[in-house]
Structure 1
Amino acid sequence: MAEENGAESPETTAGQDAPVMPKMQILGQFVRDLSFENIAAQKGVQGNTQPEVQMQIGVEGRKRQTENQYDVVIKLKIDSKTKEDNQQIFLIEMEYAGIFQIENIKQQQLHPFLHIECPRMLFPYVRRIVSDVTRDGGFPALNLDNVDFIQVYRNDLARRAQAKPHADA
């Protein structure tokens, strides 16, 4: 029994060494900018055309003036053209933003967190808006596939790394 009294209990050790869990809260989210151009209606494109949809997506994150608050913006461009003759059908450009309260994240992990985890939380709303806008524009609802924000982040880092040597020249 004397040995037990002198040793630290697992609860105490675990309590002291337990990592503090990250905390994220969405304080607000909104469409910052939205443009839908129904080119097919403007040009009078006829018939059932099979569209080819191309999507570009980017993410921006920045610190707000309030402590532990950050803006995250998903920038989306969707260009739909006919497969047959490459005529543009519609174009969507959207910026969807969220305001996040983030605590207990190490500084070196903050940038990937803002560009991966935060957009994951916002993307279902982006998907719904795109679906509604295309349907309301007279087209079948465009249901976007899930986006791999880890890959988007890696691509952005690679693009920045390639651009950096040119900036120094």
Structure 2
Amino acid sequence: MADETNGAPKPEAPQPRLQILTQYIRDVSFENIAVQKGLVSEGKPEVRVGVNLDAQKRGDDRYEVALKVKVDSKLPEGPVFILELDYAGLFVVQNVPDEQLHPLLMIECPRLIFPYVRRVVGDLTRDGGYPPLNLEMIDFLSLYRAEIARRQGQAAAPAAQA
């Protein structure tokens, strides 16, 4: 395509690039409370899942994105198990505008590593003596939007009190 002012072609903008270099378990804990206390779990336990995200710059164009999952399983008699998993991916991100970098790191990167987190959680619960826990799919876009709204609400609260 020729530039109308001098006839020279316009240089093409470099394409955005996202690549997973590696992914790994940073930390994992499975506390099998019911078995340690000699409790026989009868019935279906209440399972609560909490998710947290973190992203850190790890050099030129490299970012570590961590997906932290905590699972609490309880029966009326008491806790069954507690699972905590800190799973991370190391990503190369290039040619992404600054205003799009944070959403990319907090939405797309966790979306890419989530299937592996799901497998690890299922394996840990199965190996702990329970049916495998298959985590529901997570809508990282909704989580991101909720966190942005929460931060904006916190920023507006002190201003309203003044």
Identity score, percent = 45
- Kept after mapping to 1: 8 A contact 2:41/2:80: no
> CA separation in 1, counterparts of 2:133 and 2:48?
12
Q: Identify the match of residue 146 of structure 1 among 131, 137, 140.
A: 137
Q: What are structure 2's unaligned runs of at least 5 residues?
A: 3-8
User: What letter is aligned with 1:69?
Assistant: R
- Which structure has the larger Rg? 1
> CA separation in 2, counterparts of 1:86 and 1:23?
51
Residues 1:39 and 2:33 are matched in the alignment: yes
Correspondence for 1:125: 116
Q: What are structure 1's unaligned runs of at least 5 residues?
A: 1-6, 9-14
Map residues 59-138 of structure 1 onto 2, 5 A cutoff.
Answer: 59-65=53-59, 67-82=60-75, 85=76, 87-138=78-129
Figure out how many residues of one structure are paired with residues of the other and give that number.
Answer: 155
Task: Say if 1:131 and 1:167 are closer, same or farther in 2 by CA, change over 3 A.
Answer: farther
- Kept after mapping to 1: 8 A contact 2:34/2:41: no
TM-score between the two structures when normalised by the length of structure 1: 0.82
Map residues 47-66 of structure 1 onto 2, 5 A cutoff.
Answer: 47-65=41-59
> CA separation in 1, counterparts of 2:52 and 2:35?
28
- Kept after mapping to 2: 8 A contact 1:58/1:152: no
Task: Say if 1:86 and 1:114 are closer, same or farther in 2 by CA, change over 3 A.
Answer: farther
1:47-77 residue CA offsets vs partner (Å, 9 max, x unmatched): 4320111111111112112x11111000111
Deviation at 1:31, TM superposition (A): 0.5
- Kept after mapping to 2: 8 A contact 1:78/1:93: yes
> CA separation in 1, counterparts of 2:83 and 2:122?
11
